Amino acid sequence: MHIVSISGSPSQRSRSAWLLQLAHERLADDARSERVIAVRELPAGALLAADVGAAPIRLALDDVQRADVVIVATPIYKAAYSGLLKAFLDLLPQDALRGKTVLPLATGGSLAHLLALDYALKPVLAALGAREILDGVFAADAQLAPLPDGGFAADEALLDRLERALEPVAARCSA
């Protein structure tokens, strides 16, 4: 099972990237290979110019193509996914997610934009061909408390939701 994660936060210290990391750690033992694509680390000029020939971007797109499972994490910005994530998703071929299992994750300042996963992110994933989109996991900032070491402490309810969302992937990994 090849697992590729896409982190769409522009922030270095990122709650959504942390949530993604938690998901990755839970699947790591069963995965054949895994890669996290931090879109913020791709060359900005090439990303904005849609230069799919730039080596780091080409490699990232190829990794997505090879993946069986794609986990997509974004902060909620202005009631939708981040522009950074969209800049990367725009470079994927039209059917890039067809046949893959896709798990959407998001973090937001409050629960008010919980539905952004359903009305904003999932339609884009579906437009890219994804037909197996797992239950998304949304975390409010208060559910990921900052720790002095730079990480975050996830509350129990959030960990339970993440565990449930990952069950179909974990079952596929160990089949």
Ligand X SMILES: Cc1cc2nc3c(=O)[nH]c(=O)nc-3n(C[C@H](O)[C@H](O)[C@H](O)COP(=O)(O)O)c2cc1C
User: How many degrees, rounded to 5, is the angle at CA 136 between CA 44 and CA 83?
Assistant: 20
According to DSSP, the β-strands at 152-154 and 144-146 are: antiparallel
Among residues 59, 66, 78, 99, the one that binds ligand X under rule CB under 6 A: 78
Question: CA 77, CA 69: separation in Å to the nearest integer?
Answer: 25
Q: Does 107 bind ligand X (CB under 6 A)?
A: yes
Comparison of 67 and 75: residue with beta carbon closer to ligand X: 75
Among residues 63, 75, 136, 166, the one that binds ligand X under rule CB under 6 A: 75
Question: CA 18, CA 151: separation in Å to the nearest integer?
Answer: 7
Instruction: Give which of 25, 136, 14, 18 is closest to 3, Cα–Cα.
Output: 25
Phi, psi of 38 (to 5 degrees): -90, 105
Comparison of 33 and 110: residue with beta carbon closer to ligand X: 110
Among residues 27, 57, 69, 77, the one that binds ligand X under rule CB under 6 A: 77
Binding mask 79-98 for ligand X (x = CB under 6 A): x-------------------
Stretch that binds ligand X, among 32-40, 54-62, 77-85, 92-100 (CB under 6 A): 77-85
Question: CA 168, CA 171: separation in Å to the nearest integer?
Answer: 5
Q: Does 17 bind ligand X (CB under 6 A)?
A: yes
User: Footprint of ligand X on this chain (CB under 6 A)?
Assistant: 9, 11, 14-17, 75-79, 107-110, 112-113, 141
